[in-house]
Amino acid sequence: MKPRSILTDIGKSLVTAVLFMVLLFPLMVMKVNVSRGVAQIQFRWNLLPIVGIGAFVLSYVWRIALEWNERRGNNRSGGIFSRTKAVAGVYLAKSAVRTSSYLLLLAFVIAFPFLFGMYHTNVMITAFIYVILALGLNIVVGLGGLLNLGYAAFFGVGAYTYGLMWKYVGPSFVAAGIDTGWLFWISLPLAGIIATLFGILLSLPVLRLRGDYLAIITLAFGEIFRMVMQNSSDFTGGATGISLIPRPWFFGQKLPPIKAATYIYFIAIVLVIITIFVVRRIEDSKVGRALEAMREDEVACEAMGIDLVKNKLITFALGAFWAGIAGVLMAAQTTYINPDSFTLWESIIILMAVVIGGTGSIPGAIGGAILLKLLPEYFRALSQYRMLIYGIAMILIIIFKPEGLIPRKRKQYTFDKKEVTR
């Protein structure tokens, strides 16, 4: 490769900067407002130098980053980051260290609602709901390699199961004098089952389709679900949704909001732990290995005698199950649901959590979901730019670190070199 001269690089970046200033001029510098049928243009000249300088610096960095990405190729060792990770890995491998750090984490998580207020507890519940969702989607996208853009629909199925139970079965509970809080505990498994059924039902027509068609058709299903919920106002309450959904039963007591939040927080933790455990087991099971083979190469997988249809069904069903569970939890936490909570953007945010965290990696999905939900809560100033930043992050991750922030460790057979040489 020719040695790069810094001057040509700077020249290229200057050209890029000028081009970007021209390209972004109408949208960045001019701001349109229409009043009485006449468009009025307001100029924001102060943004122009920002665009120019930003484009100059970014294009320079971008070129270096791309080259680095290319050069790196398969050789992915070295670098401070991976070295610290290796050191941390050595320590974490010691079971004593690992157990104690897990215990410390668990203690912190349990103490959380008592240390911080109700607001933070509620934020954490939302984050946990997304952890369950991300783990569920991770089965579909990470293990099975099937891009599902309608995942929020299953989430909605779960939430609506609980909501509709409350709307239609609730009155008879009240009449019979049974605590309505029981509905939560009935709905939780029921929603899982119904969401699973939906998952199977919806996956039947898509079994024959390849990756990108699958993405689009799941997107279509998701949107149809939302539209049906929105337009069948007699049955589901339409756009106004269902409100005053009861909180879960707790030994027949009416809990004040703060205690109820703590209670739901603990339910969420238990559900998260169960999810992690089950997903972890699935990964190592026969089904999990078959799914992984399917993701790598469908044709070769079929040739090895793996039933693709069955596996795809299982993938969708498992993914949908967790979304249903998360939906009930969400309905119980907010006590209010409407179709706007289950839009395509919800599906895409969950997908982002999986992709940014690390496709196929359980810690990745957990980390991604918590990161994506907590950042906008604690950086209020940035929350306006939230989607923009997520979008950019997703593109950058896919280009430079496709395995995500916390990549999954693939199982591999290792042998000790020492034993061989001696």
Site residues, another protein (CB under 8 A): 23, 26-28, 30-34, 37-41, 62, 66, 69, 145, 147, 149, 205-206, 208-213, 215-217, 219-221, 223-224, 227-228, 231, 297-300, 348, 351, 355, 384-385, 387-388, 390-392, 394-395, 398-399, 402
Least distance (Å) between residue 215 CB and another protein: 6
Return the closest-CA partner of residue 267 out of 248, 246, 252. Answer: 248
- The most distant pair of C-alpha atoms in the chain lies apart, rounded to whole Å, by 88
3-state class of 367 per DSSP? helix
Residue placing its CB nearer to another protein in the complex, 284 or 297? 297
Instruction: Output the smallest distance, CB 206 to another protein, in A.
Output: 8
Q: Give the type of residue at 315.
A: T
- Fill in the DSSP letter of residue 243: E
Which CB, 147 or 261, lies closer to another protein? Answer: 147
Tell me 3's DSSP state: P
Rounded to whole angstroms, how far apart are CA atoms 330 and 335? 8
Give 10 or 396: the residue with its C-beta nearer to another protein. 396
CB of 300 to another protein, least distance (A): 7
Give the residue carrying structure tokens 């106002």.
233
- Cβ-based nearer residue to another protein, 55 or 323: 55
Q: How far apart are CA 70 and CA 49, in angstroms?
A: 31
Give the contacts of 56 (CB within 8 A, at least 6 positions apart). Answer: 13, 14, 16, 17
Cβ proximity to another protein, 179 vs 298, nearer residue: 298
Residue (23 or 309) nearer to another protein, CB:
23
Min CB(153)–another protein separation in Å: 12
Cβ nearer to another protein, comparing 147 with 331: 147
Q: 10 Å Cβ neighbour count for 19? A: 12
Among 156, 181, 129, 134, smallest CA distance to 242 is for 156
**CA 20, chain centre distance (Å):** 32
Shortest gap between Cβ of 17 and another protein (angstroms)? 13
Rounded to a whole number of angstroms, the minimum distance from the CB of residue 389 to another protein is 9
d(CA 135, CA 123): 18
For every residue of 23-52, DSSP letters joined together read HHIIIIIEEEEEETTEEEEEE-TTHHHHHH
